[in-house]
Amino acid sequence: MSRVLLHPLVWTAIVFAVLPFVAGANPFTGTGGFVDIATQMLIFALFASGFNLLLGHVGELSFGHAMFFAIGAYVTALDVKGYSFDLFGHTWTHVADNNMLVALVLALVAVLVLSVLLGRLIIPRSSGVYYSMITLAFAQVVFFIAFTWSDLTGGEDGLQSIPRPVMPGFDPAFFHDALHFYTFTAVVVFIGLALVYWLTVSPFGSVLHAIRENKVRARFLGYDVNKFRVNAFVLSALFPAVAGWLWTYFQQAINPDASSVGYSGNIVMMSMLGGVQTFFGPILGSIVYWELQNNISQLTKYWEAWIGAVFVVFVLLSPRGIMGVIENVRTRGIGRTTR
């Protein structure tokens, strides 16, 4: 509950400015400052922060949020690269068109529609771990479609050779430079995070917190709890969509893994590692996750086990994540976290 000295968004901006110079730092070899790793950290910081609207602020654990990321990414890829496939006896074609704003709007619309439909189906009918199971299952449907409908999605291999975004007045190759693309990402992500922050401190946000604390009481005060849950679900899906849009442009490729159990789980891990009850938690979680992944994967190909182990330790001993540890040290000196 302690307040940070500077406004969280100022902190965030400072971190974003410094990150490309320290990301991927390896304490043993002394190398560091891989811009691409920093870009990845930011994209997932946005993804995790949007997801965390649900986990940290409403208190609901969606285990399928990768599907919104994946749809944002695939829609972007298909719009930019173009597609041609046959369905219901008709050939559907779209000519390649690298207009990043159009792609973004399409990605958001697609995710908006899906999240509204899914939200209205799932939310009034489930909560708790049941809800987690169902969201996981639906993400698998998206994975399955991406994997199987090769004519449209490229199947297991996905889509490749997607160009970087182009901005009028800039050289088309401008964003092929890692640092330029990082700056682009940082601006977009910062705006997204500012929106997340604003949502959490708004009256809407406080209703979400009320629902998290005491759903029953919120109902008896007069709140249509399910409607708020659905709205929060939809909002929490839009940020991963933007992250997916960035991801496609960043990787210049996309494949079904984006909707896998792994990706959904990674987001959960990042949020929890950082600390779900704070604004900065998911951002920190993303940075720490990718830092760990980068370093450990150079040592062993079984790095996922080590990250899993770190996560297990946090669940057992420090469920409020790294931010929770920081708060404890600040408020009462070195000591155990309480639940």
Partner 1 sequence: MLALTLSQLTDQLVNGITLGMLYILVALGLNVILGLMGVINFSHGAFFMIGAYLMYQFAPMVGFWPAIGIAALLVGVLGMVFESALIRPLYRRIPEYTLLLTFGTALIFAQLVRWKWGDDAVRVATPDYLANPITIAGVDFPVYRDIFLVAVTVVVLTLVWLLINKTNVGIIIRAGTRDAEMVKILGIDMPLMFTLVFGIGSLMAGLAGALAAPIYAIQPNLASQWIVLTFVIVIVGGIGSFWGAIAGGLLIGILSSFMSLLWPPAVDLTGYVLMGVILLIRPRGLFGVEGVFE
Partner 2 sequence: MADVFRTEHLTRRFSGFTAVNDVSLAIPEGGVRTIIGPNGAGKTTFFNLLSGALPPSEGKIFFRDHDVTALEPYRRARLGIARSFQITNIFGKLTVEENVRLGVQAVLDGTANFFFPLRDAATIRTTTDRILEDIGLGNVRRAQAENLSHGDQRRLEIGLVLASDPPVLLLDEPLAGMSPAETHATVELIKRISPGRTILLVEHDIDVIMQISTSITVFQTGTVLASGTPAEIRANETVQRAYLGELALP
> What are the structure tokens assigned to 136, written together?
């996981």
Site for partner 1 in 114-133 (CB under 8 A): 121-122, 125-126, 128-130, 132-133
- Partner whose footprint covers residue 304, from partner 1, partner 2, none (CB < 5 to 8 Å by kind): partner 1
> What are the structure tokens assigned to 14, written together?
């400072």
- Partner whose footprint covers residue 224, from partner 1, partner 2, none (CB < 5 to 8 Å by kind): partner 2
> What are the structure tokens assigned to 50, written together?
């949007």
* Span interacting with partner 2, options 77-85, 183-191, 204-212, 319-327, rule CB under 8 A: 204-212
Site for partner 1 in 267-296 (CB under 8 A): 268-269, 272
Nearer to partner 1, 31 or 300 (CB): 300
Cβ atoms 261, 139 nearer than 8 A: yes
Contact track, partner 1, 48-67, x by CB under 8 A = -------------x-x----
> Which of 216, 316, 334, 338 is in the footprint of partner 2 by CB under 8 A?
216
179-188 burial code (b ≥16 CB/10 A, e <16): ebbbbbbbeb
Nearer to partner 1, 96 or 129 (CB): 129
Cβ atoms 298, 280 nearer than 8 A: no
Question: Taking the complex as a whole, how short is the minimal distance between the CB of residue 120 and partner 2, in angstroms?
Answer: 13
How many other CB atoms are there within 10 angstroms of residue 262's CB atom? 13
Q: Which are the contacts of 274, defined by CB distance < 8 A and separation ≥ 6?
A: 48, 280, 281, 282, 283, 284, 285, 286, 288, 321, 322, 323
Q: Which are the contacts of 282, defined by CB distance < 8 A and separation ≥ 6?
A: 45, 48, 49, 51, 52, 56, 270, 271, 274, 276
Interface residues toward partner 1, by CB under 8 A: 61, 63, 121-122, 125-126, 128-130, 132-134, 136-138, 140-141, 144, 148, 260-262, 265, 268-269, 272, 302, 304-305, 307-309, 311-312, 315-316, 319, 339
